[in-house]
Structure 1
Amino acid sequence: MSLFCVLAALWLLVPAVAVLANRVGARGGWLAVVVLTALTAVVAAGGPGTRTEAVPWIPSLEIALRLRVDGLGWLFALLVLGVGAVVLAYSTSYVTEERAGGFFALMTAFAAAMLTLVLADDLVVLFVAWEVTTLCSYLLILRVGSAGRAPAARTLLVTVAGGLALLGAVCAIVVRTGTTQLSAALADPAWTQDPVFAGVVAVLVAVAAMTKAAQFPFHSWLPDAMVAPAPVSAYLHAAAMVKAGIYLLMRFAGAASASPLWPWLLVTVGVVTALLGGVFALQRSDLKEMLAYSTISQLGLLVAVIGVGTTTALLAASAHVVAHALFKSAGFMTVGLVERRAGTRDLRELRGLFRSMPWTATMIALIALSMAGVPVTLGFVSKEYVLDAALSADGGPALLAAVGLGAAAVLTVAYSARMVFPVLFGSPTALGPPGGGRTMAGTVTVTALAGALLGPAVWLLDGALRSSAAAALGVAPAAVPAVSVWHGVTPALVVSAIAIALGTVVAVAHRWVDRALDRALFPVTGVAVVERLRSGVVGLGRATGRPYRGDAPARHLLIPLLLVAAGGGGAVAAQTGGLAAAPDTSRPWDVFLLLLTAGGIVAVLAARTRFAAVVASGVIGFAVALWFYELGAADVALTQLLVEVLTVAVIVLVLRRLPAPFAARSAHRGRARRALRIVLAAGAGGAATLATLALTGWRAPSPAAEWFLAEAEDRTGGTNVVNTILVDFRALDTFGELVVLVLAALVVAVLLDARRPQPVREAEGVSTAGPVRDPAANAVFLATAAKVLVPLLLLVSVLVLLRGHNAPGGGFIGALLGAAALVLAYLAAPSDSSGRVRLPFLLVAGAGAVVAAVVGLLGLADGSFLRPLHADVLGVHLTTALVFDVGVYLAVLGVVVAALNLLGTPGAGPQGVHPHPGRSTPGQHTEPDDQHDPMPEEALR
């Protein structure tokens, strides 16, 4: 089966299992179990041979949805799918939520993101999947509730920092090698020819992987995340999240080993992490915490052996990845089972489970034996190869690994034994009623027995493990030694026997060990460090945003004005021969428009009331629109004109709830601010003038403009170059802006739903008997005209939408015209309530984004997201770009209707946004009282 089909099936499973589990509860998770099991069989049947598939994504940047399976990707894909199926089966009995769709959707998305990561053969796709795993883990931890918020935030902070390191590595690789294809980039000679490049990328990749793999000093997030339920912990530790870091290190092992920094960094950090994790595990009495720190220790072992870098080392890493996935998934699922029956995870309270829960206790013993590396479990086989790789390799890193991993093996045996001894012996702990039944016990049994029985039957894994190691190093599988459970008395076997003996002694002497470790080993904890870092980042963000956290325009305009000044100065500085003589292009009409614009600016500055300033700014906008028309830019002029109309309408809806005059300021404060504004305005204006003079002498079209003018019609079938740029050539930019518009509508709706608007202010000094007070009297002419103009404008808006590809218009302009019609209908209505537009604005805006996204996905049929498809039907040229424009139309219309309804009508919010009960319609007079006065401007700041 195609790799894309496998991946698509898993991603499509996410919404399907969400809907089903919300309807029938946790039983709906069996759908995910069946699908993941089937996909595991499909991937296994394909074998570890190399296969590549690709679909163009962003051809201009040579980015494609490339998938590639080789021995390494195949092994990790089987773990992701197989362990995922077992954990989800366990979850169907563990999860008790009636609406469990969110849990199963996130777990399935976690699996889909991990599968995308291990199959990705494009650096951009790999990075996106990497970040999706971060978000999935964050959301799964966050589902716990208030107890999970701080751990989720700390986890997100650490792993996002690693994502930034990976982003830096991706950018460096693409720039240096000239390709985003992962397999091609790793085979590029730059790794051996450019030591600086190899060293920088090796460090960045290592840091990124270490944040995910919980290596010192980034380890604290993993125990912190243990607030998550047992199935999440089991999957996160066994086949997701932390294994993403291990996969990344193994994938880059061959190329990055060209840098001498790589082995020293990985071995040093891995050994330190393995030792610290083992010591911390011995300190813990909580069974789940002990397993969490044991994961840190085992991951340190994996990182160190990857750093050794030989074929035996990568074979050992592949074997231990499988062994660790089995005993760790079984371990966390067993913890969940025991906690549900015994009501505790404290080893000091768990006693005699061998008599009260004999089968579960047996599984705990098997898990501990495999984790400790006791013959002849799979953990024993993998540990033998780890020690053999360190002992047989040459160089300083290998020597450090041999000593450090030998010591870590002692600690592993010690905490594994401590996990078993209290559980097997002593008086039985009181148990609650059985929970979970056969499903939970069955999944634990499958993974625990697999970890034990695959040791003597390790020959079954020989091909998979050798192919994985070979793919990691870019060699043939024949160059990798065969896997066997016994190969004589070797130094590795001797070290392993010593570790088992010493570890058992440490476990037996637990009272003395507890007394020695019952203290803080370091002055600070990892969680405290991350929390301080998080507080520092938040504080830095507050400090950075403080200058812009007011409503004074000068605060927000300072940086743009300085940039304008810098840009103007740069443009002038670039003129080595002085400013070019400006050609005589001015006409009398330009002088008139210039004076009109300047007059509007002066009027805005002189305005003493808000409405006067709005009217004067409208004059400026209309003058600029006329200027665009005069210069022949019909599309831009029409857009400017309609935006100006709608902006004035929306601003008026806001201003009618604010005091009419501007707030008075003290004379001294007013003079100081006015002086600052004058300086900023003069500087920006002067710089803009100089930049204009510098550029006026160059009137020729740019190369990009010439290309669009020459190629637009042939490539798109449209003659309106502006529209073809928006919906054909740069549709991705337009799609991004469309999504921003929809989010803006959502933010406005949520904001006004959370904070009720101030009451509409009464017009002071106006008699209630006059026509200004009577909406029916003062709107009669507008209402009469609206009966004709509103349907006409709506019809014209549709025509403008349809003609946009070949004449001035398009979805954006058409939507603005349609919105203007709705504004006219609102203004003509006798009251606010009756003027409400009966449209589900959020649904309309969201539908626009969905339509545009679907059109983009259709473009994949021709090789690229958002690539327009063309067809001639009965002599008429049709294109999906028109459907994309319909999405733009709906999104823009929904946003404007959102502003109109939420700001202009009472009770129109998404959950009933009710304005303050000062008045309900313009025709009803209610005396204002003090408590309803708008908040003063100083308080808003």
Structure 2
Amino acid sequence: MIMTGAFFGASVIAYPLVRLLGRNAFFLLALVPFAGLLWSLSAISDLFGPAAQPLVENFDWLPELGLSGVFRLDVLSWIMTLLVTGVGALVFVYCARYFPPDEPGLARFAGIFMAFAGMMYGLVVADELLMLYLFWEGTTVFSYLLIGHSQSRRRSRQAALQALIVTTAGGLAMLVGMILLITATGTGQISTLIDRAQSGMDTGGVIVSAVILILVGAVSKSALMPFHFWLPGAMAAPTPVSAYLHAAAMVKAGIYLVLRLAPGYHNIPGWSEVLLTLGLLTMFIGGWQALKQTDLKLLLAFGTVSQLGFLTTMAAFGTPDITKAALGLLIAHALFKSCLFLCVGIIDHRAGTRDLTKLSGGWRAFPVVAVCATIAAASMAGLPPLLGFAAKEAAYSTLLSSPDKTSVIAFIGIMIGSILTVAYSARFVWGAFSSKPGVDDIARRDEKLTLVVSPLILTALTLALGPGVGLLDGYFSAWTAGLPAVAEGDGHYHLALWHGFEPALAFTAVTVAAGLALFIVRRPFAKVQATLPSGLDFHELYRMLIGRMEALALWVTARTQRGSLPFYQGVVYFVLVAGLGLAIIANDTWNITFRLWDTPLDLIVAAVLVIVAIGATRAKKRFTAVVVTGISGYAMVAYFAFVGAPDLALTQVLVETITIVVFVLVLRRLPARIGESTGRLTPAWRAIIGGAVGITVMLVVLIATGVRVADPISTDFGQLAYELGHGRNIVNVTLVDIRAWDTMGEISVLVAAGTGIAGLIFVRGREGHLHRFERKKDGTEAAGRIRFQPVAEDVVDLHHAGRGEGLSQKRASWLIAGRTLAPRNRSIILEVTARLIFHAVIIFSVYLLFAGHNDPGGGFAGGLVAGLALVVRYLAGGKYELAEAAPFTPSGMLGTGLVTAILTVIGGWIWGETVFDSVYLEGDLPLLGHVSFGTSTFFDIGVYLIVVGLMLDILRSLGAEVDLHQERDEAMLTDRIHDNVNFSENLGATAEHRAVSEIIDRVNELDVDNGAEGGRL
């Protein structure tokens, strides 16, 4: 668990580290996976010693749901961690010189790359299905970001989206299978599931369906047919991504899952049939397509698809000997394919192309790369004395010795696929490094050691592990010893470079000879490939499916999203009345108890609510409707006060006031009068619908309260708030402690609402500040960003001056509106009052924030009061006054508030308790007396900051930005009138015309745009 956390911790610091050190930061970041490699190697004594046992770590994940987190390092996980960390460290070193120093988004790439490595590491050590799924989908999301690293390139964006859609679809099927499996067996721990399956405890249709659905996720992740097309498209990613994700890590996740489940489920119906069919078809299709490619990276991509089919076929058997061969292939493929991708990246950098028809003289241009790539390609083809040869011969030998009929079918399919592998391996070497007639040779340049060191290490391992494959055999045997044998003698095969003259060796020789012959006749064979039908194009099927889904979405949208608010309301009301009405009719127990009021004052509130509701429907003007609707909110304030809920009354009055302000800001851009409806519904029908909704909701409330058989949990809130929450304000303690999860969701919605307001209503970015005066060093305001030229007055100080003495001084005016608003739009009294009370109101809001734990108030109410203070400043002086009052960005406030709340949430977990657990301190302090403080106050501070940020976003969007657009519209209108209308008295201009002309002249004098030579009117 510590190692997994180290990856994610490094992903957080990767961004600032790369910004500080540039691409050299990748050398430091490589230390994280390298440390993981060392830790895995240090576990050898625990996993392979005399008392070998898996390393297991348990922790409570979601105890309320009975879910625990389990990390388990057994032999199979250990093998995968070696690939994830070892290859990962080498790829990070390669990144340090692959990317240019000015690569756009390099810091972002580093953080995402490290986070992906952490997800992959967590995936292979997770021993709980749902936890594995979280890491599984984490690799999907981060691979999407990595594939789409070049955001400006359409091909990268399309490839990333395609990979995301395909793998996520498979992941959703896998999630359904996992839930079915957990439900049927009562456990989600993978090791327990395998043990139960091996003992024959879990059988039946549900188990089979669940496992097949899980296999859908594995097949899509490992790019097996029919999902294989996403992997060649993902070659739009940078080469390090291809070398890691698509050779050693992500595409191996599906293979790992098959290897993990095979010991328990390889005998269930459909397992062998599905995996062997898809594996062999994928191996053949990948090899066939690889021989068509002229792009070296695409050639390797289709070769990877072919090899993944090979690996899946071998992993599906679940028997000791064949699984041992599969593990050898897994290691060999990771080494040679990562090396080949890294070499292609170097070739692309040096030659500027990956087209093998345009590459010539590569042997002389980059000899070190040529040697590395040739050895890796030879291992891919299965040539001795390399690891790929030992692994492929093991596959041949174990399949030939297996008595199962499916082994014969698998052997024939694998041999055909291997012939294609030899052919495209030779095609790769020839295309990348040979000299071709009529093609200019690549100019030779020095090969930097830091760029070629990673391919050199991978090549050295491929060379060393060929003769030393027996070393791997001992580790693999520790895993395969626990697998069920299907025949006598199964489990006795040992990996070795030389087994003598056996049938497997002869078939290997035939495979190599046939593959080289196929390469030699590549031109005639290419003509044969061109004449044959291309068959079923799954990529085209995917595009057609996406196109049909988009067309369906457009069709549904056109019929449901009409832009008609009455239609939307009608649908909501119909569903509400129909759904609840049927529930009411079906209810047999109508235990309705009428209680008309608690006090006679309730009747007054109810009468006001009825009157204003009718008045709102009858209002002809929008402003009237808003005011009348606001009265209903204030009536609820009175009701809360009557029933003894001061905190609710305070919050309601603040919310209602701010709501009216928001309405007024919006109404500035709408017609004053409410238009007449031209819809089909008459006023009578609207009244019927409204009445039906009201009656239905009333009946639901009466019935629901009458049939309650249990006491509401809220009856204990008073005691819980005082004893556990250490507060006397039940409402506030409920929000920040008892029901803090609900509040966390609500403030997240507030942040999303603020972002939506800023994004949808005029604001073009989240980072910009409002227009503010820029102060010069001498204290005066600089022009250039203001509407009017600042006015400075000459002040002669004659109080202590002698005769004839005078001193001229400049001072800036205190009220900004004097330079930003026309006189007809100003109220000096309001401006002065707003400035005088602003700081007092802010202090009062802070008081409400900290007093809310025991008295009316809290973070929400305090934030609303601070928001009202900002509203007053804006209404008094406009957007420049608002900028002076709040010299910070709304996004900063929202982000700071949300981070503060989240840190408070996880604080309890950090110090060993559950999330949202609070710590309370109390004691006597000088001057302050007895003080009680809880960490939940920090959560309330986060709420306060979020509410203030939301209010600032509203004022910036609906206020300041609307002002800006309105000024532009007025300027355009006045220019158009001035250009097109002649107001000469000779033409009989009316008084109205003369008034418009006077307005135009005054606007021209204001000099709105440049703020020069204008000044006050």
TM above 0.5, yes or no, is yes
Give the helix-richer structure, 1 or 2: 1
Give yes or no for the alignment of 1:369 onto 2:420: no
- Alpha carbons of 1:804 and 1:96: their partners in 2 closer, same or farther (altered >3 Å)? same
1:384-441: per-residue Cα shift (whole Å, max 9, x none)? 3333443344545434322222221221122112222445544585214537622222
Once the two structures are superposed, the pairs formed by residues 40-55 of structure 1 within 5 Å of their partners are: 40-47=37-44, 48=47, 49-55=53-59
Q: Tell whether 2:257 aligns with 1:245.
A: no
Q: 2:296 is matched with which residue? A: 287
Task: For 1:630-709, list aligned pairs within 5 A.
Answer: 630-665=642-677, 669-672=678-681, 677-678=686-687, 680-698=689-707, 702=711, 704-706=713-715, 708=717
Q: 1:849 aligns with which of 898, 902, 908?
A: 898
Moved more, 838-847 or 592-601: 592-601
Question: How big is the alpha-carbon RMSD for the aligned residues of Structure 1 and Structure 2?
Answer: 3.4
Shift of 1:677: 4.3
SS in 2 for 1:259: coil
- The answer to whether 1:608 aligns with 2:611 is no
- For the pair 1:528 / 2:575, whether they are aligned, the reply is no
Q: 1:416 aligns with which of 422, 425, 432?
A: 425
1:7 aligns with 4
Q: Which runs of 5+ in 1 are unaligned?
A: 758-770, 932-941
Displacement of 1:39 after TM fit? 2.7
Match of 2:328? Answer: 319
2-structure distance, mates of 1:681, 1:432? 81
1:5-44 → structure 2 map (5 Å cutoff)? 6-44=3-41
Say if 2:164 is the partner of 1:156.
yes
- Asked whether 1:226 is paired with 2:235, we answer yes
Q: 1:610 to 1:96 in 2, by over 3 A?
A: same
Structure 1: how far apart are the matches of 2:978 and 2:724? Answer: 64
Preserved CA contact (<8 Å) 2:365 2:444: no
Higher-Rg member (1/2) = 2
In structure 2, relative to structure 1, the CA distance for the partners of 1:192 and 1:285 (3 Å cut) is: farther
Provide the C-alpha distance between the structure 1 equivalents of 2:857 and 2:482, rounded to a whole number of angstroms: 55
Aligned to 1:798: 846
Deviations 1:148-204 (A, max 9, x none): 122122111111212212222233234334445444455456984342221122122
Cα distance in 2 for partners of 1:785, 1:531 equals 64
d(CA) in 2 for partners of 1:900 and 1:17? Answer: 36
Measure, in 1, the Cα distance between the counterparts of 2:187 and 2:594.
Answer: 45
User: What CA distance in whole angstroms lies between the structure 1 residues aligned with 2:902 and 2:450?
Assistant: 40
Check if 1:821 corresponds to 2:869: yes
Aligned-pair distance for 1:855? 1.8
> Is 1:456 aligned to 2:464, yes or no?
no
After superposition, the Cα gap between the structure-2 partners of 1:491 and 1:259, relative to the gap in structure 1 and judged at 3 Å, is same
Question: Displacement of 1:234 after TM fit?
Answer: 0.8
Deviation at 1:584, TM superposition (A): 5.7
Deviation at residue 598 of structure 1 after TM alignment: 1.9
- How far apart, in 1, do the equivalents of 2:502 and 2:730 lie? 75
Cα 1:472/1:451, change in 2 over 3 Å: farther
Cα gap change, 1:730 to 1:257, in 2 (>3 Å): farther
Q: The residue matched to 2:57 in structure 1 has which SS?
A: strand
Q: Alignment partner for residue 78 of structure 1, among 78, 82, 87?
A: 82
Within 5 A, what are the aligned runs for 1:445-844?
Answer: 445-469=456-480, 482-519=494-531, 521-522=533-534, 524-546=536-558, 549=561, 551-583=563-595, 585=597, 587-665=599-677, 669-672=678-681, 677-678=686-687, 680-698=689-707, 702=711, 704-706=713-715, 708=717, 711-751=720-760, 752-754=762-764, 774-777=824-827, 780=829, 786=834, 790-827=838-875, 829-836=876-883, 837-840=885-888, 841-844=890-893
Change (3 A) 1:198 1:624: same
SS of 1:605 mapped into structure 2: helix
Question: For residue 64 of structure 2, what is the aligned residue in structure 1?
Answer: 60
5 Å-filtered alignment, 1:119-138, equals 119-138=125-144
Q: Paired residue for 1:342?
A: 351
Paired with 2:732 and 2:483, the residues of 1 have a C-alpha distance of: 48
Conservation of the 8 A alpha-carbon contact between 1:342 and 1:429: no
- Please give the alpha-carbon distance, in whole angstroms, between the structure 2 residues aligned to 1:424 and 1:398: 38
SS at match of 2:72: strand
Moved more, 590-599 or 843-852: 590-599
Whether the aligned pair in 2 keeps the contact of 1:154 and 1:534 (CA below 8 Å) is no
Per the alignment, do residues 787 and 283 of structure 1 end up closer, same or farther by CA in structure 2, a change over 3 Å counting? closer
- Structure-2 change in CA distance of 1:695 and 1:229 (3 Å): closer
Whichever residue aligns with residue 71 of structure 2, its letter is L
- Give the structure 2 partner of residue 766 of structure 1: none
TM-score calculated relative to the size of structure 1 = 0.88
The corresponding residue for 2:124 is 118
* Aligned position for 2:917: 868
1:694 is displaced (CA, Å) by 1.5
Please list the CA deviations of residues 203-261 of structure 1 after superposition, one character each: whole Å capped at 9, or x if unmatched.
22111111111111111111011122211111122222212222222233234435322
Q: Deviations over 1:457-491 (max 9, x none)?
A: 1133234433455688899xx97854333334444
More off after superposition, 21-30 vs 175-184: 175-184
Task: Check whether the contact 1:191–1:256 (CA below 8 A) recurs between aligned residues.
Answer: no
In 2, the alpha carbon distance for the partners of 1:929 and 1:116 equals 68
| Distance change in 2, residues 1:69/1:561 (3 Å) | farther
Shift of the 276–655 alpha-carbon distance from structure 1 to 2, 3 Å rule, reads same
Q: Verify: 1:886 aligned to 2:941, yes or no.
A: yes
- By relative contact order (CA 8 Å, sep 6+), the higher-ranking structure is 1
Equivalent residue number for residue 269 of structure 1: 278
**Which stretch of structure 1 is more off in the superposition, 57-66 or 442-451?**
57-66
The count of aligned residue pairs is 900
Query: Structure 2 residue aligned with 1:917, among 968, 991, 1007?
Result: 968
Which deviates the most, 895-904 or 687-696?
A: 687-696
Q: Check 1:262–1:721 CA distance in 2 against 1; reply closer, same or farther (3 A cut).
A: farther
Q: CA deviation at 1:514?
A: 0.9
Measure the CA separation in 1 of the matches of 2:472 and 2:69.
Answer: 30
Q: Structure 1 residues 802, 53: closer, same or farther in 2, change over 3 A?
A: farther
- SS at structure 2 position matched to 1:670: coil
Query: Who is 1:934 aligned against?
Result: none
The code of the aligned residue for 1:166 comes to M
* Contact 1:797–1:817 (CA under 8 A) maintained in structure 2: yes
Residues 374, 351 of structure 1: alpha-carbon distance in 2 compared, 3 angstrom cutoff? same
Shift in Å, 1:586: 5.4
Q: Is the 8 A contact 2:347 2:354 kept in 1?
A: yes
* Maintained 8 Å contact 1:169/1:204: yes
- Give the CA deviation at 1:318: 2.0
Alpha-carbon distance in 2 for matches of 1:91, 1:471:
40
User: 2:880 aligns to what SS in structure 1?
Assistant: coil
Q: Is the 8 A contact 1:342 1:430 kept in 2?
A: no
Q: Deviations over 1:865-910 (max 9, x none)?
A: 63323143426543322211211111121111111123222599xx
CA drift of 1:611 comes to 1.2
Distance verdict in 2 for CA 1:410–1:604, change over 3 Å:
same
Q: For 1:104 and 1:492, how far apart are their aligned partners in 2?
A: 45
SS in 2 for 1:68: strand
SS in structure 2 of the partner of residue 820 of structure 1: helix
TM-score (norm 2): 0.82
Match of 1:166 in 2: 174
Shift of 1:82: 1.0
Residue 56 of structure 2 aligns to a residue whose secondary structure is strand
| Residue identity (%) | 33
**Structure-2 separation of matches of 1:148 and 1:424:** 28
Partners of 1:173 and 1:731 in 2: how far apart? 33
Do the aligned partners of 1:310 and 1:393 also contact (CA within 8 Å) in 2?
no
> Structure 2: how far apart are the matches of 1:66 and 1:916?
62
Match of 2:312 in 1: 303
Q: Work out whether residues 22 and 101 of structure 1, in 8 Å CA contact, stay in contact via their aligned partners in 2.
A: yes
Provide closer, same or farther for how the CA distance between residues 916 and 301 of structure 1 changes in structure 2, counting only shifts above 3 A. farther
Do the aligned residues in 2 keep the contact of 1:918 with 1:928 (CA within 8 Å)? no
